[in-house]
Structure 1
Amino acid sequence: MKKTFSILIILLFAITAQSEAQKLTERKVRKMFMGSEIMQEHFVGFILQEEDGKIVYSQHEDIHFVPASNTKLLTLYTAMNILGDSIPAFKYTIEGDSMIIWGTGDPSFLHPKLDNRRTYDFLANTPYQIFLANEPDLDFEPSYWRSDLSYFPMYGNLATIKSDTTLGLSVFPKPISKYVVQDSTIIPTRFNINRSKTGKELVYPNMAIPEDFQRAIPFPMDLQVTRILLQDTLKKEVNMIIKKKPIEISTYFSIPSDSLYRNMMLPSDNFLAEQILLLCSGMLSDSLNVKTTIAFGLENHYKDFKNPPVWEDGSGLSRFNLFTPNTVLEVLNLLETLIGDMDRLKSLLPVGGVSGTLRTAYKTDNGKPFVWAKTGSLRYMHLQSGWLETRKGSIYRYVFMNNNFVRPTSEVRNEMVRIMTEIHERY
């Protein structure tokens, strides 16, 4: 009897020891970081949280980092609280034989990845004469990293310019060709087209155009350009009018909101992120202003955070954005609660080894992905925040923030992937 009891005790200890060996603990995660030469060279913030909310491990969780495109997580959560399930394409009123339109900032119209032709068909088939309401210029700083913001974007505010044996260069949409000009003062090492630093022109050098040249480039956009492009594509007259927006006004809707969010999040589209905040501001006020939406989000969603964010833009291009790992983790939890459907949530995020900015970063595990996360990259900064599933079926939320490294970004990214993959495989 004593022998049997001793065997049972030994078995119990063995099972307990094996269970502890398989359990992910603070000590084990800390060891991964301490054993990483790369992770000892720069500023690293990290949090790993179990599905039930328990923090497994954290470091520098209350220290502020530049979040880069992790900022889009706040843009997403704020928009999902303001916009409905469909995107407002424009607001309009009918007066006699005229339809007067006020842009809402919807970026989907004739966008190569978003347009469902719903808005186009409505405008093309309307019997009314179309007028665009003239409004004050939007407050934004032109950027090489995204298209110009606008009340009524078209084609993603991108022109496709390519070599043409007859014309030299062909431009689509065609009206943008007037902005494409040669500048003999440019002496580059290779042919390219760039936005002028001082004007609205798209300039190219006086040199041979490569036969295979093709590039999508942001073009200068305002309501007059919208009018010209709209007139060109609808093949009907479109005019401008100075008109105050009435209190009673109709709204025409374009695409499902999730489609817009997905196309912002997966490729980390900076233009779409800013336009989404403009869309939100139009629901909150009578004008379009990114700062209006940010102020609303800070006051209504993030004010009571342990570390309230310093939030400056929708895309994360601004280095004035400052979030702590705790801030981002709280947003992940808010998104999970708001959406209430993990399959839907995962569909809005890049998938490791499958899609978006994580398509080539991770490998799937026998064809099964295990990371769904938003990335962020600026020079000397790289981040991931999202969800990790282990081989044993455990779900973790994680925030992984790297700032101020001097190695190539690829080396830091590969080390992040190595650590997250090890957690997946072992626990």
Structure 2
Amino acid sequence: MKINFIHSKKLLLSLLISFCLISFSSIAQHKTEEKNTDYISNLNQVFQEDCFRDSFHGFVLYDLDSSKYLFEYNADKYFTPASNVKIASLFAATKILNERLPSLTYFEKGDSLIFWGTGDPTFLHPIFRNSAVIDFLLLKSKTKKLFFSTTNYEDEPFGDGWAWEDYRTSYGIEKSAFPIYGNAVYFEADPSCEIEVFPEIFKDSIQENSEIKTKNFTIKRDLGINSFEYNIGDLYYKKGKTIPFHITPELITTLLNDKLDLEVTHLEYPMPENTAIFYTAKSDKMYKRMMQRSDNFLAEQTLLMCSAELFGTLSTQRVINYLDANYFNKFYNKPRWVDGSGLSRYNLFTPRNFVEMLKSIRKDMGEEKLFETLAIGGKAGTLRRRYEYPKKSTPFLYGKTGTISNNHCLSGFIVTKTGRKLCFSFQNNHHRESSKTIGNKMEEILTRVYKEY
């Protein structure tokens, strides 16, 4: 009996200790959650600060672990998101495109091969150097005459709502059915005042104009032509310039003839139903540059490739209509989507839209692959100088920036110090503060979320 009594006391003591530990743990957890809840709820006060007071802002914070919104501020109001729109382009790609990019649509008839572009921007691009189409055409040219057609192209060189003067900038490159060399010419001037040109075929299209007022090496081109003027200026070091060229079917065949060293003829041939598609480069590298470097050209061409894959024809509007009808109609708010890059101020998205798209992309791509594709805080892309993380730890913020004058936005993911995974969208429109000031404030807020939640 004595032994049983002692055993019972030990059992009772053990149960009491367990109960106390559970109670203390519950209290501690409650206090932690209370602290987090207090901080999140007090975020409303942030938007009363001077840098936010006279402009329009929206912020949502979504807990991926609990599938709940932790904070919503103007979550369902529409914003001009700038390059956050590239999240929609990546969303479209994950729904429509395959692992490899469609690079050519072709049809063989007798001794002829007729081919159409699919919008693939990697063909002979100076970064991707995808020459698989060249190898394909060279092989076919042994038994076939080559003809290039543009009858499947239903788009315009520039997007709706783009600023007209963007045509002369590296971020305003023309869209096209058959991109080549990134649809741009690269000029470089060295201290000897020699001008290097890539591709070299444009060497005969440049001339010096000393009347161009400049302190630095400058290249100019008028709208709709491919004649370039330059002034070296006060050049003391190598300085490169990327200038878009104007796309015409005749220019494409000229560039192909030069590269292939054989004849390609432009022929407006209607696309038949029984065509084949030639796939080449893997999509990963292109998506990564599109998102990390915020490459407008790649984003626009991504939508054209999606259109080619779905319809055979290339139309930004057709693929947007498809996504509207099949995906965005299920969103809490339906966005107004106009272009692939975000250059257009006609785009209207809510902060909640971006969370919905990012959640879907994460599911389709997988978290690890998506995080590698987005800009990485303190490490890569447009966020490499922001959101630095402690040594011997991993980055905590992965996202997509978006900036045009008076608008600065950021959407993405945060992995908090405690390991919680959050999705967010922070939209800022119509501010007179500099983008740097708004960016600094966003960094302060999101870094605190990382540390305290």
TM-score scaled by structure 1? Answer: 0.90
Give RMSD over aligned pairs: 2.8
Aligned position for 2:30: 20
C-alpha contact (below 8 Å) 2:221/2:229 kept by paired residues: yes
- Aligned partners of 2:128 and 2:425: how far apart in 1? 30
Counterpart in the other structure of 1:151? 177
Q: How many residues align?
A: 425
Alpha-carbon separation, structure 2, partners of 1:369 and 1:296: 36
Work out whether 1:113 is the aligned partner of 2:127. yes
Partners of 1:90 and 1:103 within 8 A in 2: yes
1:71-220 paired onto structure 2 within 5 Å: 71-126=85-140, 127=142, 128-135=144-151, 138-141=155-158, 143=167, 144=169, 145-163=171-189, 168-183=194-209, 186-197=212-223, 199-205=225-231, 211-220=237-246
1:297-330 CA distances to partner (integer Å, 9 max, x unpaired)?
A: 1111102322100111011010110111111121
Distance 1:165 1:46 in 2: 49
The correspondence for 2:439, drawn from 413, 423, 427, is 413
Local SS of the residue matching 2:375? coil
| Aligned with 1:355 (options 361, 376, 380) | 380
Cα displacement string for residues 331-378 of structure 1 (whole angstroms, at most 9, x for unaligned residues)? 122222333x21122122111112111111121232411111111111
Unaligned 5+ residue runs, structure 1? none
Match of 1:252 among 257, 278, 281: 278
Of 31, 36, 45 in structure 2, the residue corresponding to residue 34 of structure 1 is 45
Q: Structure 2 vs 1, CA of residues 309 and 134 (structure 1 numbering), >3 Å: closer, same or farther?
A: closer
Q: In structure 2, list runs of 5 or more residues that go unmatched.
A: 1-8, 159-165
Query: What residue identity is the alignment partner of 2:55?
Result: H
Amino acid of the structure 2 residue aligned with 1:357: T
- Tell me the distance in 2 between the aligned counterparts of 1:63 and 1:138: 30
CA shift at 1:182, angstroms? 3.8
Residues 99 and 131 of structure 1 are in contact (CA less than 8 Å); yes or no, is this contact kept in structure 2?
A: yes
Distance 1:10 1:161, change over 3 A: same
The alpha-carbon deviation at position 205 of structure 1 amounts to 3.9
Larger mean CA deviation between 227-236 and 139-148 belongs to: 139-148
List per-residue Cα deviations over 1:121-172 (Å, max 9, x = no partner): 2223432332212436841326332311111111111211112577832211
2:317 alignment counterpart: 291
Contact 1:176/1:219 (CA < 8 Å) preserved in 2?
no
Q: Which residue of 2 aligns with 1:345?
A: 370
Q: 1:48: which partner in 2?
A: 61
Task: Kindly indicate whether the alpha-carbon contact (under 8 Å) linking 2:119 and 2:178 is maintained by their aligned counterparts in 1.
Answer: yes
Partner residue of 1:368 out of 373, 391, 394: 394
Q: Secondary structure at the match of 1:362?
A: coil
Kept in 1, the 8 Å contact 2:215–2:233? The answer is: no
SS of 1:214's partner is: strand
Separation in 2, partners of 1:265, 1:372: 11
The 1:185–1:116 alpha-carbon spacing in structure 2 relative to 1, beyond 3 Å, is closer
Contact 2:189–2:217 (8 Å) recurs in 1? no
Q: Measured at CA, do residues 90 and 5 of structure 1 come closer, stay the same or move farther in structure 2, by a change above 3 Å?
A: closer
After superposition, what is the alpha-carbon deviation per residue over 1:25-49, rounded to whole angstroms, capped at 9, x for unaligned? 4431242452573344532211111
Give the Cα–Cα distance (whole angstroms) in 1 for the partners of residues 401 and 368 of structure 2. Answer: 19
1:201 shift after superposition = 3.1
Counterpart of 1:193 in 2: which secondary structure? Answer: strand
Identical positions, percent: 31
Residue 384 of structure 1 and its aligned partner are, at CA, apart by 1.2
Deviation at 1:80, TM superposition (A): 1.8
Deviations for 1:217-272, whole angstroms, at most 9, x for unmatched residues? Answer: 22222222111111112222222123221211121111112332222111111001
Q: 1:27 to 1:259 in 2, by over 3 A?
A: same
The answer as to whether partners of 2:83 and 2:343 remain within 8 angstroms in 1 is: yes
Kindly name which structure, 1 or 2, has the bigger radius of gyration based on alpha carbons.
2
Change (3 A) 1:210 1:171: farther
With structure 2 as the length reference, what TM-score do the two structures score? 0.85
Q: Is residue 26–residue 57 contact of structure 1 (8 Å, CA) maintained in 2?
A: no
Aligned to 1:423: 449
Is 169-178 or 305-314 further displaced after alignment?
169-178
Check whether the contact 2:407–2:435 (CA below 8 A) recurs between aligned residues: yes
Instruction: Determine whether 1:333 maps to 2:333.
Output: no
CA distance in structure 2 between the aligned counterparts of 1:188 and 1:137, rounded to whole angstroms: 39
Structure with bigger helix share is 2
From 407, 410, 435, the counterpart of 1:384: 410
